[in-house]
Amino acid sequence: MTLKTIKWGIMGCGGISGKFAKDLKLAEGAELTAVAARSQEKADKFAEQYGFARAYGSYEAFLQDSDVQIIYVGTIHPKHKEQVLACLNAGNAVICEKPFTINAAEAEEIVRVAGEKKLFVMEAMWSRFLPPLVQTREWLKQGLIGDVQLVKADFGFDAGWNPEGRLLNKEQGGGALLDAGIYPVSFASMIYGEQPRSIMSSAHIGETGVDERFSLLFEYEGGRTAALNGAVRLSLRNDAYVYGTKGYIHIPNFLFAKEASLQVYGEEPVHVQDDRQFAGYKYEAEAAMACLRAGALENDVISLSETVSIMETMDRIRHQWGLSYPTE
Protein backbone atom coordinates (compact mmCIF):
# COMPACT_ATOMS: atom_id res chain seq x y z
CA MET A 1 0.00 0.00 0.00
CA THR A 2 1.36 3.42 -0.96
CA LEU A 3 1.45 5.87 1.92
CA LYS A 4 -0.24 9.24 1.59
CA THR A 5 2.38 11.83 0.63
CA ILE A 6 3.26 14.48 3.23
CA LYS A 7 4.76 17.74 1.98
CA TRP A 8 7.70 18.99 4.03
CA GLY A 9 9.27 22.36 4.56
CA ILE A 10 12.51 23.16 6.38
CA MET A 11 13.07 26.41 8.27
CA GLY A 12 16.75 27.20 8.72
CA CYS A 13 19.45 25.85 6.41
CA GLY A 14 22.26 25.14 8.87
CA GLY A 15 24.16 21.93 9.54
CA ILE A 16 21.51 20.04 11.50
CA SER A 17 18.88 20.86 8.86
CA GLY A 18 21.20 19.43 6.22
CA LYS A 19 21.51 16.16 8.14
CA PHE A 20 17.74 15.96 8.52
CA ALA A 21 17.14 16.79 4.85
CA LYS A 22 19.58 14.12 3.68
CA ASP A 23 17.62 11.48 5.59
CA LEU A 24 14.23 12.97 4.72
CA LYS A 25 14.84 12.01 1.09
CA LEU A 26 14.82 8.37 2.27
CA ALA A 27 11.59 8.64 4.29
CA GLU A 28 8.68 6.85 2.62
CA GLY A 29 5.92 9.25 1.66
CA ALA A 30 7.94 12.43 2.21
CA GLU A 31 7.82 15.12 -0.47
CA LEU A 32 10.57 17.74 -0.26
CA THR A 33 8.56 20.86 -0.98
CA ALA A 34 10.24 24.03 0.30
CA VAL A 35 13.09 25.45 2.36
CA ALA A 36 13.76 28.86 3.87
CA ALA A 37 16.88 30.68 5.03
CA ARG A 38 17.83 34.24 5.90
CA SER A 39 19.22 34.74 2.40
CA GLN A 40 17.99 33.59 -1.00
CA GLU A 41 21.46 32.40 -1.92
CA LYS A 42 21.69 30.08 1.07
CA ALA A 43 18.17 28.76 0.52
CA ASP A 44 18.82 28.12 -3.18
CA LYS A 45 22.03 26.25 -2.44
CA PHE A 46 20.32 24.09 0.20
CA ALA A 47 17.34 23.32 -2.04
CA GLU A 48 19.58 22.31 -4.91
CA GLN A 49 21.80 20.17 -2.71
CA TYR A 50 18.97 18.18 -1.11
CA GLY A 51 16.31 18.27 -3.84
CA PHE A 52 13.64 20.64 -2.55
CA ALA A 53 11.22 22.08 -5.09
CA ARG A 54 11.24 25.68 -3.85
CA ALA A 55 13.56 27.97 -1.89
CA TYR A 56 12.72 31.16 -0.01
CA GLY A 57 15.06 33.90 1.16
CA SER A 58 12.73 34.91 4.00
CA TYR A 59 10.72 33.00 6.55
CA GLU A 60 7.69 35.22 5.94
CA ALA A 61 7.47 34.25 2.27
CA PHE A 62 8.08 30.59 3.14
CA LEU A 63 5.14 30.53 5.56
CA GLN A 64 2.82 31.69 2.79
CA ASP A 65 3.50 28.51 0.81
CA SER A 66 0.16 26.73 1.18
CA ASP A 67 1.50 23.42 -0.15
CA VAL A 68 3.67 22.77 2.92
CA GLN A 69 2.01 20.55 5.54
CA ILE A 70 4.73 20.06 8.14
CA ILE A 71 7.81 22.13 8.91
CA TYR A 72 11.09 21.04 10.45
CA VAL A 73 12.51 23.94 12.48
CA GLY A 74 16.31 23.68 12.62
CA THR A 75 17.26 27.18 13.76
CA ILE A 76 19.18 28.28 16.89
CA HIS A 77 17.61 27.60 20.29
CA PRO A 78 16.44 31.14 21.19
CA LYS A 79 14.46 31.38 17.95
CA HIS A 80 12.50 28.16 18.41
CA LYS A 81 9.50 29.58 20.27
CA GLU A 82 9.00 32.51 17.91
CA GLN A 83 9.41 30.42 14.78
CA VAL A 84 7.36 27.42 15.90
CA LEU A 85 4.52 29.78 16.83
CA ALA A 86 4.81 31.43 13.41
CA CYS A 87 4.52 28.01 11.76
CA LEU A 88 1.49 27.11 13.85
CA ASN A 89 -0.18 30.44 13.13
CA ALA A 90 0.35 29.75 9.42
CA GLY A 91 -1.48 26.43 9.84
CA ASN A 92 1.50 24.07 9.69
CA ALA A 93 2.34 21.05 11.80
CA VAL A 94 5.85 21.27 13.29
CA ILE A 95 8.77 19.08 14.31
CA CYS A 96 11.21 21.29 16.21
CA GLU A 97 14.87 20.52 16.79
CA LYS A 98 16.02 19.97 20.36
CA PRO A 99 16.03 21.61 22.80
CA PHE A 100 12.39 22.35 22.07
CA THR A 101 12.74 25.79 23.62
CA ILE A 102 15.01 27.75 25.97
CA ASN A 103 12.79 27.07 29.00
CA ALA A 104 9.59 25.41 30.15
CA ALA A 105 7.44 28.54 29.93
CA GLU A 106 8.20 28.80 26.20
CA ALA A 107 7.43 25.11 25.71
CA GLU A 108 4.11 25.47 27.52
CA GLU A 109 3.14 28.38 25.26
CA ILE A 110 3.81 26.33 22.14
CA VAL A 111 1.83 23.37 23.48
CA ARG A 112 -1.10 25.65 24.34
CA VAL A 113 -1.20 27.25 20.88
CA ALA A 114 -0.83 23.89 19.12
CA GLY A 115 -3.73 22.54 21.17
CA GLU A 116 -5.92 25.54 20.35
CA LYS A 117 -5.19 25.19 16.64
CA LYS A 118 -5.36 21.38 16.73
CA LEU A 119 -1.99 21.03 15.00
CA PHE A 120 0.64 18.33 15.44
CA VAL A 121 3.87 19.36 17.22
CA MET A 122 6.84 17.20 18.25
CA GLU A 123 10.28 17.75 19.68
CA ALA A 124 12.84 16.30 17.26
CA MET A 125 14.41 13.92 19.76
CA TRP A 126 15.55 11.76 16.86
CA SER A 127 17.60 9.25 18.85
CA ARG A 128 14.47 7.79 20.50
CA PHE A 129 13.36 6.46 17.13
CA LEU A 130 16.59 4.60 16.33
CA PRO A 131 16.10 0.81 16.28
CA PRO A 132 18.50 0.06 19.19
CA LEU A 133 16.61 2.49 21.44
CA VAL A 134 13.28 1.09 20.29
CA GLN A 135 14.64 -2.35 21.24
CA THR A 136 15.81 -0.99 24.60
CA ARG A 137 12.30 0.18 25.42
CA GLU A 138 10.95 -3.24 24.43
CA TRP A 139 13.42 -5.03 26.72
CA LEU A 140 12.38 -2.73 29.56
CA LYS A 141 8.68 -3.25 28.83
CA GLN A 142 9.26 -7.02 29.05
CA GLY A 143 10.95 -6.54 32.44
CA LEU A 144 14.04 -8.47 31.35
CA ILE A 145 16.49 -6.56 33.59
CA GLY A 146 14.05 -6.32 36.50
CA ASP A 147 13.52 -3.02 38.29
CA VAL A 148 15.76 -0.24 36.96
CA GLN A 149 17.93 1.23 39.71
CA LEU A 150 20.60 3.24 37.91
CA VAL A 151 20.95 5.03 34.58
CA LYS A 152 24.28 6.34 33.28
CA ALA A 153 24.53 8.45 30.14
CA ASP A 154 27.08 10.92 28.78
CA PHE A 155 27.27 13.13 25.72
CA GLY A 156 30.27 15.38 25.29
CA PHE A 157 32.50 16.65 22.52
CA ASP A 158 35.27 19.20 22.18
CA ALA A 159 34.12 22.02 19.91
CA GLY A 160 37.29 24.02 20.53
CA TRP A 161 37.54 27.64 21.58
CA ASN A 162 35.28 29.90 19.52
CA PRO A 163 33.65 32.51 21.77
CA GLU A 164 31.60 33.90 18.88
CA GLY A 165 30.36 30.48 17.76
CA ARG A 166 26.88 29.29 18.69
CA LEU A 167 27.96 26.74 21.28
CA LEU A 168 29.69 29.26 23.54
CA ASN A 169 27.54 32.30 22.77
CA LYS A 170 24.96 33.18 25.41
CA GLU A 171 22.99 35.31 22.95
CA GLN A 172 22.52 32.23 20.79
CA GLY A 173 21.52 29.91 23.64
CA GLY A 174 24.95 28.31 23.92
CA GLY A 175 26.17 25.95 26.61
CA ALA A 176 26.56 22.23 27.20
CA LEU A 177 23.23 21.58 28.92
CA LEU A 178 20.94 22.87 26.17
CA ASP A 179 22.99 21.55 23.29
CA ALA A 180 24.49 18.27 24.52
CA GLY A 181 22.88 17.71 27.90
CA ILE A 182 19.37 17.49 26.53
CA TYR A 183 20.25 14.01 25.24
CA PRO A 184 21.26 12.30 28.52
CA VAL A 185 18.53 14.19 30.42
CA SER A 186 15.94 13.04 27.89
CA PHE A 187 17.37 9.51 27.96
CA ALA A 188 16.88 9.31 31.73
CA SER A 189 13.34 10.59 31.29
CA MET A 190 12.67 7.92 28.66
CA ILE A 191 13.96 5.14 30.91
CA TYR A 192 12.26 6.16 34.16
CA GLY A 193 9.14 7.73 32.66
CA GLU A 194 9.29 10.55 35.18
CA GLN A 195 11.41 13.49 36.30
CA PRO A 196 13.80 13.36 39.29
CA ARG A 197 12.64 14.12 42.81
CA SER A 198 15.94 15.81 43.61
CA ILE A 199 18.90 17.05 41.57
CA MET A 200 22.53 17.54 42.50
CA SER A 201 24.66 19.23 39.89
CA SER A 202 28.01 20.79 39.13
CA ALA A 203 28.92 22.94 36.14
CA HIS A 204 31.99 24.72 34.83
CA ILE A 205 30.88 28.15 33.61
CA GLY A 206 33.42 29.40 31.09
CA GLU A 207 34.62 32.84 30.06
CA THR A 208 31.61 33.50 27.85
CA GLY A 209 29.15 32.86 30.69
CA VAL A 210 27.78 29.52 29.54
CA ASP A 211 28.30 26.02 30.92
CA GLU A 212 31.13 24.26 29.10
CA ARG A 213 30.64 20.98 30.96
CA PHE A 214 28.46 19.60 33.73
CA SER A 215 27.69 16.59 35.91
CA LEU A 216 24.24 15.67 37.20
CA LEU A 217 22.95 13.25 39.80
CA PHE A 218 19.20 12.66 39.68
CA GLU A 219 17.36 10.88 42.49
CA TYR A 220 13.95 9.31 42.11
CA GLU A 221 11.54 7.60 44.50
CA GLY A 222 12.99 4.49 46.12
CA GLY A 223 16.59 5.66 45.83
CA ARG A 224 16.79 5.10 42.07
CA THR A 225 19.34 7.36 40.41
CA ALA A 226 20.71 8.69 37.13
CA ALA A 227 24.29 9.89 36.68
CA LEU A 228 24.61 12.13 33.62
CA ASN A 229 27.43 14.19 32.10
CA GLY A 230 27.69 16.59 29.19
CA ALA A 231 30.25 18.89 27.60
CA VAL A 232 31.01 21.04 24.58
CA ARG A 233 34.72 21.42 25.33
CA LEU A 234 35.51 17.89 26.51
CA SER A 235 35.20 14.65 24.55
CA LEU A 236 33.37 11.82 26.35
CA ARG A 237 32.66 8.21 25.37
CA ASN A 238 28.94 8.93 24.98
CA ASP A 239 27.71 5.51 26.08
CA ALA A 240 24.54 4.77 28.04
CA TYR A 241 23.89 2.05 30.61
CA VAL A 242 20.66 0.97 32.27
CA TYR A 243 21.17 -1.20 35.37
CA GLY A 244 18.34 -3.27 36.82
CA THR A 245 17.94 -5.88 39.54
CA LYS A 246 18.23 -8.74 37.00
CA GLY A 247 20.74 -7.37 34.51
CA TYR A 248 21.73 -4.37 32.45
CA ILE A 249 21.55 -2.79 28.99
CA HIS A 250 24.52 -1.13 27.30
CA ILE A 251 24.10 1.25 24.34
CA PRO A 252 27.44 2.34 22.88
CA ASN A 253 27.43 5.90 21.51
CA PHE A 254 23.75 6.01 22.47
CA LEU A 255 22.95 9.28 20.72
CA PHE A 256 23.76 7.74 17.32
CA ALA A 257 22.96 4.19 18.44
CA LYS A 258 23.69 1.41 15.97
CA GLU A 259 23.81 -1.38 18.55
CA ALA A 260 22.63 -2.38 22.00
CA SER A 261 23.42 -5.26 24.33
CA LEU A 262 21.24 -6.97 26.92
CA GLN A 263 22.85 -8.88 29.77
CA VAL A 264 20.46 -10.80 31.99
CA TYR A 265 22.47 -12.23 34.86
CA GLY A 266 23.00 -15.98 34.44
CA GLU A 267 22.11 -15.95 30.74
CA GLU A 268 23.97 -15.47 27.48
CA PRO A 269 24.14 -11.82 26.39
CA VAL A 270 21.88 -10.63 23.57
CA HIS A 271 23.25 -8.17 21.02
CA VAL A 272 21.27 -6.24 18.40
CA GLN A 273 22.96 -4.49 15.50
CA ASP A 274 21.52 -1.84 13.18
CA ASP A 275 23.37 -1.85 9.87
CA ARG A 276 21.64 1.23 8.44
CA GLN A 277 23.68 3.17 5.90
CA PHE A 278 22.15 6.54 6.83
CA ALA A 279 22.16 8.71 9.96
CA GLY A 280 18.70 7.79 11.23
CA TYR A 281 16.74 11.04 11.15
CA LYS A 282 14.31 9.45 8.72
CA TYR A 283 12.78 7.43 11.54
CA GLU A 284 11.51 10.51 13.40
CA ALA A 285 10.25 11.97 10.10
CA GLU A 286 8.31 8.78 9.37
CA ALA A 287 6.93 8.76 12.92
CA ALA A 288 5.73 12.35 12.52
CA MET A 289 4.11 11.55 9.17
CA ALA A 290 2.33 8.55 10.66
CA CYS A 291 0.83 10.86 13.27
CA LEU A 292 -0.33 13.31 10.60
CA ARG A 293 -1.98 10.54 8.60
CA ALA A 294 -3.72 9.27 11.74
CA GLY A 295 -4.85 12.73 12.79
CA ALA A 296 -2.82 12.58 16.03
CA LEU A 297 -1.64 15.85 17.59
CA GLU A 298 1.44 14.39 19.29
CA ASN A 299 3.69 11.34 19.30
CA ASP A 300 3.66 9.01 22.30
CA VAL A 301 7.40 8.29 21.99
CA ILE A 302 8.14 11.90 22.95
CA SER A 303 4.86 13.37 24.17
CA LEU A 304 4.34 17.10 24.60
CA SER A 305 3.84 16.72 28.34
CA GLU A 306 7.18 14.93 28.61
CA THR A 307 8.89 17.61 26.50
CA VAL A 308 7.60 20.30 28.88
CA SER A 309 8.61 18.23 31.93
CA ILE A 310 12.14 17.80 30.56
CA MET A 311 12.39 21.56 30.03
CA GLU A 312 11.25 22.04 33.65
CA THR A 313 14.08 19.75 34.76
CA MET A 314 16.56 21.75 32.67
CA ASP A 315 15.24 24.95 34.27
CA ARG A 316 15.83 23.47 37.73
CA ILE A 317 19.40 22.60 36.80
CA ARG A 318 20.21 26.03 35.38
CA HIS A 319 18.67 27.67 38.43
CA GLN A 320 21.24 25.85 40.59
CA TRP A 321 23.98 27.35 38.42
CA GLY A 322 22.51 30.84 38.26
CA LEU A 323 22.54 30.58 34.46
CA SER A 324 19.92 32.44 32.45
CA TYR A 325 19.72 33.65 28.87
CA PRO A 326 19.11 37.18 27.52
CA THR A 327 15.72 36.18 26.08
CA GLU A 328 14.41 35.02 29.46
**pLDDT, tens digit, 9 for 90 and up, residues 216-264:** 999 999 999 999 999 999 999 999 999 999 999 999 999 999 999 999 9
Residues 6 or more apart whose Cβ sits within 8 Å of residue 150: 224, 225, 226, 227, 241, 242, 243
**pLDDT, tens digit, 9 for 90 and up, residues 131-147:** 999 999 999 999 999 99
pLDDT at residue 122 greater than cutoff 80? yes
Contact 280, 256 (CB under 8 A): yes
Sign of the CA dihedral with 158 first, then 243, 135, and 299 last: negative
Residues 6 or more apart whose Cβ sits within 8 Å of residue 181: 155, 214, 216, 228, 230, 314, 317
Mean pLDDT confidence for 272-286: 97
Whole-number pLDDT of residue 3: 86
Kindly list the structural domains of the chain, giving each domain's residue range(s) and its CATH number in brackets, ordered by start. Answer: 6-127+281-297 (3.40.50.720), 131-273+310-321 (3.30.360.10)
Confidence label for 127 from pLDDT (cuts 50, 70 and 90)? very high
Dihedrals phi, psi of 273, to nearest 5 degrees: -125, 135
Contact 250, 154 (CB under 8 A): no
pLDDT at residue 2 greater than cutoff 80? no
The percent of residues in the chain predicted with pLDDT above 90, rounded, is 99
pLDDT at residue 126 greater than cutoff 90? yes
Confidence label for 156 from pLDDT (cuts 50, 70 and 90)? very high
Whole-number pLDDT of residue 1: 65
- H-run or E-run covering 83: helix 80-89
| Omega prior to 131 cis, within 30 of 0 | no
What distance in Å separates the CA atoms of residue 118 and residue 295, rounded to the nearest whole number?
A: 10
Mean pLDDT confidence for 75-87: 97
Phi-psi region of 197 (alpha: psi -120 to 50; beta: other; left: phi over 0): alpha
- 3-class DSSP state of 44: helix
pLDDT at residue 5 greater than cutoff 70? yes
Contact 298, 304 (CB under 8 A): yes
Count CB atoms within 10 A of the CB of residue 320: 14
Quote the pTM value. 0.97
Mean pLDDT confidence for 72-86: 97
What distance in Å separates the CA atoms of residue 170 and residue 182, rounded to the nearest whole number?
A: 17
What distance in Å separates the CA atoms of residue 139 and residue 12, rounded to the nearest whole number?
A: 37
Residues 6 or more apart whose Cβ sits within 8 Å of residue 320: 199, 201
